[in-house]
Structure 1
Amino acid sequence: MNPIEQQIAKWSLKEKIGQLFILAFPGKTADTAAQMIAEYNLGGCYLSQDNAETFEEAHVLNKGLDALLKQHDRLPLLLGVDQEGAWGVLVGESTTGPGNLALGVAEEVSGTANMYRVFGEEMRSAGFNCILGPCCDVNLNPASPIIDTRSFGDVPSKVSAHSAAAVKGLHQGDIVACAKHFPGHGDTHGDTHREIPRVDKSYDELKANDLAPFQAAIDAGVDLIMTSHILYPQLDDSAPATLSPVILQNVLRGDMGFEGIIISDSMNMGAIQNHYQPVDAAVKAMKAGITMIMLSEEHYDHSDAYLDKQLAMIHGLIDAVETGELAESVIDDAVKRVVAFKLAKLVPQTLYQPFSFAENREVAQQAANEGVVWLRGGLKDVADKPLYLLNATPKSSYHNLMNPRGIGPNQAQPAFDAFRDELAKLHTHCQVVTKDTLPNLDDGYLVVVTENHPLPGEDFDQVEAKQTVQQLSRDFSNLVVVGLRSPYDALEYPDVVNYLCAHSPRPESAVAAARVLLSKQAASTGVAVSRVN
């Protein structure tokens, strides 16, 4: 027998099925996963800021997992994290950079490759071996509530180039890459954390637009692809992509030639939970062509029942095989693919290596600098004038910025604060004001700051902020809007003459925007989106 067959021959049906699950658990120690590793031969873990907030905590967690694997003679776990820029882990210490939309401003893709190489180096140093990125979604619908700054933009050819560069950068950082959310989450009106969105487009339309970045990622050698729980009725009118053999086998495997690991987006998201019984969904996913099933949102309900849910799904698959509902050959084919992947990619990986925070932060700041654009207008005399700084976002909008599940941006500091602090360092006459304390602006500029953060299953409330900008843009001619976010909201502000967009709410982008506003550095001339002027 070859090494793959030798490994699989040791396992029971329960252990083979356990190897096909990527599970989440709360807390910061490996003890919670001990039973799943020892008894069920767990295949991987989805880890978030809830599991580790610092590199030191990540080392404790991951070395604890290593010890359990060694104790029970297990293959490495696939340890996946959402370190993708706009979303991140170990945030506060790790280098997130500005996020994909800001990276997508540049015509050259070297900044994206460098940023993703940094992701790889840092996460591998923390003990993780897989980055669940890049997002290859194209922002074809500016109102999409969940993608936004997680996308490289709305031009398919440009998103494709940056997606390929991201994959190559991760491989330069010697970490496993996962393109998501196949076949594309950028043209939806809904969020799969809550519902099943519908994208009613022909296969030709999808190939020309949504699928193009995934093909670029495949051609660049991406290791994994994560599916989306989205319905594409012109391809399959009954099953979302995760559960569709047409989409996974005919399109992804057949037409696009992907031979790697197909993982599901979390099967605990509303799109699945609200429409399918968990075991039925797992069986359908395996029949459709999923290689590994991910359950990454266990404590959406903040309960301790996550382990029972996980075990129920695993045992449901065991029962399905034993009753003949699911052919054991489906399990065997998936396990062979997983074992081959782990022996080739995870076993040789070097973890916990040192790196330079200072060098990585220089890469991130340069990337952020290249993402700041005068979307409209442009001023050269701001540094010579008094500035009155107003945050259009009310305090109430920030209540869910830090997600209790550790999923999402994980950014404790509002982008406005970083912008304000940098402006105060660089400008001698900068006064923070509110709508109720607006001075008589005979001289100087009113600088109004907006921001937005893509949150899982929630919205960052922008209603009041938009109303504020709309009102002030009508009342003041000497107004400048600084968008620490995607540029699409500019469409709602036809009266704004001077609009500076950072394409990101990350702190380094706020710093870059302040410097461009004061002409301390040049604005970028690139664009990540095509429908805003």
Structure 2
Amino acid sequence: MFESFRSQAAQKISGWSLEEKVGQLFILAFPGKDAEAARPLIERYNLGGCYLSQDNAATFAEARQLTQAMAAIVNQRADAVPMLLGVDQEGAWSVLTPESTTGPGNLALGSADNPALSAQMYSVFGIEMRSAGFNCVLGPCADVNLKPNSPIIDTRAFGEVPAQVAVQVGAAVHGAHDGGIVVCAKHFPGHGDTTGDTHREIPVVDKSLATLMVEDLAPFKAAIDARVELMMTSHICYPQIDPVYPATLSRAILQDVLREKLGFKGIVISDSMNMGAIRRNFPPVEAAIIAFKAGIDMMMLSEEHYDHNDNYLENQLAMIGAIVSAVEDGRMPEAELNQIVERVVAFKLARLVGMPLFREFNQVANRKVEQAAAQSAVQILADPARNLPVQADKHVFVLQTTPLADYANLVNPRGIGPNQATPAFDYFAAEISTLLPEERLSILDYTEAKTWLAEVKVAADQLVLAVIENYPLPGEDFKQAASKALVAELAAKFGEQLVVIGLRNAYESVPELAGHVCAYGSRECSARAAAQVCLSV
């Protein structure tokens, strides 16, 4: 894929020390907004890349300051190559929130079923992230929601039908390239057929390669056909393909399937090797050596600082040092190391050198793309009593079904995930307040809704809009029990006068007599679009 740059890459690395070669294969992370935290890794080890999150930069101004400072450290070297600066700007997960344009998320784009619109959305991601100084979007998710109750994928996937997901993934890759940025399809060979979360455990998907080809791999092949540069692996076991190792450590999966069968010629990067799936089951150095030998080109250690461990820098330096020792003592042949480094540097020369960064962009135009995507995604899935659009003779009660305490983990100190401080309910309530007169509208938070429900007498002019939400969180679950219980109580009392507003996926069933409006996402644009659909605006 980058073969024409291989000789130039070989010449560039010929003068590098062993430490500098090994360092080029690592994508690390650090806490805070100061590039000085990464200086030891960059200067001593010629660090290959960094995973950057909301913890590192919450605004475009902070991102530009950080990435420019990092580039200044890198460029002190006469033979410098750019660092890969990757971010989870993929819709349902995001950075620089709320300044950046997140769109409604991949599941909503799948619902909209308009590949051109998906391409536009990913072009926006590319343009905005380059403006911040980032050069890689760690997306799109090419996973298929075969098990829709996944706590970690959910709205990050484009849907549950492999062929349709494949079309969307291809469009996303093309769109991001139109936006001028490098992209990474994930989580190969698929994270959608498990309810396990690799931040916590090694999930097992017990299916044959033939079944995997039909159910999981079509979106990854679409990404490859669209010339995706990077492929991120999953820490999931597929015992019918490799009975010993998860995908990240499996030569059978990375070489035989990804390289040979699917024809991928780009750079293979690991999901974080410090996630629970790897850290709790394999010695770190042994896992790293196995992964490189299996076919990993760049290794991510992005969770090293997530627990705010004061020793994160020492731990990362120790891992690089351990791989240096493994090369020195022959456990990892230097010839193999050189081949990997050549491939990585050739990719950087081809795609990162000369990438235009820090350019201004048209935020108004980007928000229009976001709005169009969100509006196209919303669907009225059920309306048995024909309550929609809301009639002029109805008094509308908008109810929050999630207790305030259940939003506690919506934003975490690690800076990964949705990074959405404001619940989707608040945006829905704000939008519908602009569309209905005050005398016809009552907005109740969870506590108020519980009290009201216990006391209210049902009347024919009442219409209840019960808002349900979900968010895919890394290593955590968004609590659902209280919300489900309240919806059940509302259904028992109001029957067909209830409409459930899903600011989430549509995989959970709603009460039989209730209406159901689904936005397929929990972003602000999705919540506002759902409110507009309720009023047929």
TM-score for both structures, normalised by structure 2: 0.95
Counterpart of 2:520 (choices 480, 499, 503) is: 503
Partner residue in 1 for 2:358: 352
1:382 and 1:444 in contact (8 A); partners too: no
Distance 1:260 1:179 in 2: 11
What is residue 247 of structure 2 aligned with on the other side? 241
Describe the SS at the equivalent of 2:187: strand
Q: Tell me how far 1:381 sits from its aligned partner.
A: 4.5
Counterpart Cα distance in 2 of 1:304 and 1:121 = 35
Per the alignment, residue 3 of structure 2 pairs with none
Does 2:345 correspond to 1:339? Answer: yes
Query: In the alignment, what sits opposite 1:412?
Result: 421
How far does the alpha carbon of each residue in 1:301-320 deviate from its partner, in whole angstroms, 9 at most, with x for none? 22111111111111111111
Aligned mates of 2:518, 2:156 — CA distance in 1:
16
**TM-superposed deviation, 1:108:** 2.4
> Contact 2:389 / 2:533 at 8 angstroms: preserved in 1?
no
Q: Which residue of 2 aligns with 1:525?
A: none
Distance 2:360 2:114 in 1: 29
Residues 366-423 of structure 1 deviation map (CA, whole Å, 9 limit, x = unaligned): 0000110011125335141110111111111100000110000000100000000001
Alignment-derived partner of residue 468 in structure 1: 486
* Matching residue within 382, 385, 392 for 2:390: 382
Report what 1:306 is aligned to: 312
* Structure 2 match to 1:432: 443
Residue type of the partner of 1:275? N
Instruction: Pick the aligned partner of 1:446 from 449, 464, 478.
Output: 464
CA contact (8 A) 2:51 2:302 kept: yes
**Residues 268, 297 of structure 1: 8 Å contact kept:** yes
Q: Distance in 1 between matches of 2:458 and 2:500?
A: 16
- Residue pairs, 1:111-130, within 5 angstroms: 111-130=117-136
- 1:221-370 matches, within 5 Å, as 221-370=227-376
3-state DSSP class of the match of 2:68? helix
- The structural deviation recorded for 1:81 is 0.1
State the alpha-carbon separation in 1 of the partners of residues 330 and 17 from structure 2.
Answer: 17
- Whole-Å Cα distance in 2 between the matches of residues 2 and 510 of structure 1? 52
Find the counterpart in structure 2 of residue 399 from structure 1.
Answer: 408
Q: Quote the residue 1:482 is aligned against.
A: 501
In 1, distance between residues paired with 2:338 and 2:104?
Answer: 41
Which letter maps to 1:455?
A: L
| Shift, 1:71, TM fit | 1.4
Question: How big is each residue's C-alpha offset from its partner over 1:157-197, in whole Å with a ceiling of 9 and x where there is no partner?
Answer: 00000000000000000000100000000010200000000
Runs of at least 5 residues in structure 1 that lack an aligned partner in the other structure: 521-533
List per-residue Cα deviations over 1:505-526 (Å, max 9, x = no partner). 0000000000000111xxxxxx
Match of 1:162 among 155, 160, 168: 168
Q: Alpha carbons of 1:494 and 1:381: their partners in 2 closer, same or farther (altered >3 Å)?
A: closer
What code does the residue aligned with 2:405 have?
A: S
Deviates more, 1:156-165 or 1:375-384: 375-384
Report the equivalent of 2:67: 62
* Rounded Cα–Cα distance in structure 2 between residues aligned with 1:496 and 1:508: 28
Return the letter of the residue paired with 1:22. Answer: I
Contact 2:424 2:469 (C-alpha < 8 Å) held by counterparts:
yes
Does 240-249 or 437-446 show the bigger shift? Answer: 437-446
Tell me how far 1:471 sits from its aligned partner.
2.1
Letter in 2 for 1:380: L
Q: What whole-Å deviation, never above 9, does each CA across 1:479-504 have from its counterpart, x for those lacking one?
A: 010000000112xx342431000000
Describe the SS at the equivalent of 1:179. strand
**Which residue identity is paired with 2:212?**
L
Q: How far apart are the structure 1 equivalents of 2:269 and 2:389?
A: 52
| 1:138 lines up with 2:144 in the alignment | yes
- Counterpart AA for 2:424: A
Amino acid at match of 1:415: A
Corresponding residue number in structure 1 for 2:57: 52
Instruction: Give the counterpart of 2:89 among 70, 74, 83.
Output: 83
2:65 and 2:388 mapped to 1: Cα distance?
Answer: 51
CA contact (8 A) 2:88 2:95 kept: yes
Provide the rounded CA distance (Å) in 1 between the counterparts of 2:376 and 2:310: 45
4+ residue segments displaced more than 6 Å: none
Q: Match for 2:450: what amino acid?
A: K
Question: RMSD of the TM alignment (CA)?
Answer: 1.1
Q: Look up the SS of the partner of 1:170 in the other structure.
A: helix
- CA positional deviation for 1:107: 2.8
Query: How many positions carry a matched residue from both structures?
Result: 518
- Supply the distance in 1 between the matched residues of 2:277 and 2:388 (Cα, whole angstroms): 49
SS at match of 1:390: strand
CA contact (8 A) 1:483 1:499 kept: yes
Whether the aligned pair in 1 keeps the contact of 2:501 and 2:530 (CA below 8 Å) is yes
Output the CA distance in 1 between the equivalents of 2:402 and 2:194.
25
Q: CA deviation at 1:267?
A: 0.5
Match of 2:529 among 512, 518, 525: 512
| TM-superposition CA deviations, 1:274-305 (whole Å, max 9, x none) | 00111111101001000000011122322111
Q: How far does residue 80 in structure 1 lie from its aligned partner after superposition?
A: 0.2
Mapped to 1, the partners of 2:272 and 2:506 lie a distance apart of 29
Which letter does structure 2 place at the counterpart of 1:7?
K
Identity of counterpart residues, as a percentage? 57
Q: Distance in 1 between matches of 2:24 and 2:500?
A: 51
**For 2:202, which of 196, 200, 207 is the aligned residue?**
196
Query: 3-state DSSP class of the match of 1:298?
Result: coil
Deviation at 1:20, TM superposition (A): 0.2
Answering whether residue 53 of structure 2 is matched by residue 34 of structure 1, we say no
Asked whether the equivalents of residues 129 and 175 of structure 1 are also in contact (C-alpha less than 8 Å), the reply is yes
Check conservation: 1:383, 1:519, Cα contact below 8 A: no
**Cα distance in 1, alignment partners of residues 112 and 397 from structure 2:** 31
| Structure 2: gaps spanning 5 or more residues | 1-5
1:98 and 1:504 in contact (8 A); partners too:
yes
TM-score scaled by structure 1? 0.96
| 1:279–1:312 contact (8 Å) kept in structure 2 | no
Residue type of the partner of 2:61? E
* Matched letter for residue 264 of structure 2: F
Structure 1 residue 241, shift from structure 2 partner: 0.1
